[in-house]
Structures are given as C-alpha cells and as structure tokens.
C-alpha cells in the first residue's frame, strides 16, 4: 500500500497572494496529515512564491504543464528547467484539458515525459477516456494506448518515480464521479500495463490516483479501493477547508481539540 497521495490542481485560479495565503493555512495543519503525500499545483505565476511559502514543509509543489521543448523560440511556453528553477518537484503532464482544449497528442506528451525525467521532475501523467469512448467500450484499449505511447523510451528506473492519474474526461469538472468500482477496474489495468512495459513482473508498484469531481463526500469510498492510491482534485481543492477534509479522509492523526 502506497502513502495516500492527495494532489490539488488549481487550474487557472488563484493570484499570488491567494496561493500564498492558502499554502500558509495548509502548512499550519501539516502535523494533522503527516501520513499523506500532499501536492499543490498552482498556476505558473504563483510557483516561485508558492515554493518560498512551502519552505520547511514536506508538501510537494507541481507545475500544471510544461513544454515539450527544452528551450528556444517557443513563445509563451515554460520549460522543465524553468519549473524546476521555480521550485517544483512535480509536474502534471497530459491533463485532459491540455489534450482536449489545446490538442496535445500522445507524441507530445511522451516528449514532455522524457524531458521531465531528464530534469529530475516527478511527472503526474494523466490519462482517461471520453464519454463517447466509454460508451463505445473503448476505455481499456484507449488507456493502454495512452500509456504505451506516452511511455516510449522511458526507462524502468524512471517509471519508478512516476505517478499516473486516471481521470475520465466525462467526470472532470462535471460533478459526475466514476463509481469506485469503475475507477478500480481501470486502475488495475493501468498498473498491469505499466508493469508489462517496464518488464518487471511481480506486483505492480506504480501509484495510480483518481481524478474527476472528487469531493469530501466521495473520497472515502474511492480510497477504500485496493488500487486507488490517492486523488487529483480540481474544484474541491480551491477552498482550504474542503481540501483539508479530503486530505484528512479517515484521518489517523486528528487536529488538536477533535
């Protein structure tokens, strides 16, 4: 069993001061979730101030995206080296909003993953099917394709520091969550597929987290599944109180006074 991973994707929300205030509040409560791996992904503009605010804390910092190029004439892009320089240890790659709103392909995502590993970043690699693909019974083949094409030329050693986020597109920001059983089935296939690719045999080890309208009410039943190692939370991570309630699902260390 992995340490539960609870990651916040703030998307295009929060100014610098809003991000720093949130992080200060989160840090104050850190002793109540020392048995969880908590990660926040602010927008690019808030990364450096967020890194400074996180100093002395074990909460991880992620960028929400990065360029598939190392440097050069790519106006508006931000490189792996730049986000590392801004204080990130993690980077979200292949989020469905990048794939579907900005046309990112498996090939581009693979380039990003290669560069992220080269830079020593830990990628949170997002995959997931659309409603149309689910209804056409293509979920498993699509997922396997996203994994195999995304992980071309990635070594088994690098795969050891990978986190995969299964995010069904139809569940993101829609208020519609996959049932724990639906998510569990796909998570199992993801782990088996990654294990095949890294040619390891034995029990799959890659942590797979679920994303798609996770909230304080759904966290517990999702985390009760054997192959759900954590969650990637969008909307419900924007308010400190609701994010803390998600982090502290089945809390083993309760805040003072509770």
Catalytic positions, please? 95, 167
Q: Which residue has the tokens 């890659």?
A: 206
169 or 197: whose CB is closer to ligand PEP?
169
Phi and psi (nearest 5°) for 204?
-60, 140
116 or 165: whose CB is closer to ligand PEP?
165
11 or 48: whose CB is closer to ligand PEP?
11
CB of 139 to ligand PEP, least distance (A): 17
- Binding residues for ligand PEP, rule: CB under 6 A, are 9, 11, 167, 172-173, 211-214, 232-236
CB of 167 to ligand PEP, least distance (A): 5
Instruction: Please name which of 197, 199, 97 lies closest in space to residue 149, comparing C-alpha atoms.
Output: 197
Q: Do 151 and 194 form a contact (C-beta atoms < 8 A)?
A: yes
Q: Do 26 and 240 form a contact (C-beta atoms < 8 A)?
A: yes
60 or 234: whose CB is closer to ligand PEP?
234
CB of 213 to ligand PEP, least distance (A): 4
Which residue is at the shortest CB distance from ligand PEP? 234
HEC profile for 78-138?
CCHHHHHHCCCCEEEECCHHHHHHCCCCHHHHHHHHHHHHHCCCEEEEEECCCHHHHHCCC
CB of 169 to ligand PEP, least distance (A): 10
Beta carbons within 8 Å of 167's beta carbon, 6+ residues apart: 95, 96, 126, 127, 128, 210, 211, 212, 232
CB atoms within 10 A of CB 43: 18
């Amino acid at each position: 069993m992995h340490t539960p991973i609870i990651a916040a994707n703030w998307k295009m929300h929060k100014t610098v001061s809003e991000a720093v205030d949130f992080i200060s509040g989160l840090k104050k409560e850190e002793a109540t979730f020392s048995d969880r791996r908590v990660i926040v992904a602010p927008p690019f503009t808030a990364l450096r101030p967020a890194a400074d605010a996180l100093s002395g804390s074990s909460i991880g910092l992620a960028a929400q995206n990065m360029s598939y190029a190392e440097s050069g004439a790519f106006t508006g892009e931000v490189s792996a080296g730049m986000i590392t320089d801004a204080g990130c240890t993690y980077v979200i790659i292949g989020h469905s909003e990048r794939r579907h709103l900005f046309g990112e392909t498996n090939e581009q995502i693979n380039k990003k993953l290669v560069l992220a590993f080269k830079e020593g970043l830990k990628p949170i690699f997002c995959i997931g099917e659309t409603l149309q693909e689910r209804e056409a019974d293509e979920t498993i083949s699509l997922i396997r394709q996203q994994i195999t094409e995304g992980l071309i030329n990635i070594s088994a050693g690098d795969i050891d520091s990978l986190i995969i986020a299964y995010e069904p597109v139809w569940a993101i920001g829609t208020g519609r969550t996959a049932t724990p059983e639906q998510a569990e089935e796909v998570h199992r296939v993801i782990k088996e597929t990654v294990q095949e690719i890294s040619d390891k045999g034995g029990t799959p080890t890659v942590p797979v987290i679920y994303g798609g309208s996770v909230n304080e009410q759904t966290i517990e039943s999702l985390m009760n599944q054997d192959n759900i190692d954590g969650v990637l939370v969008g909307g419900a991570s924007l308010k400190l109180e609701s994010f803390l309630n998600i982090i502290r699902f089945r809390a083993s260390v309760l805040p003072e006074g509770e």
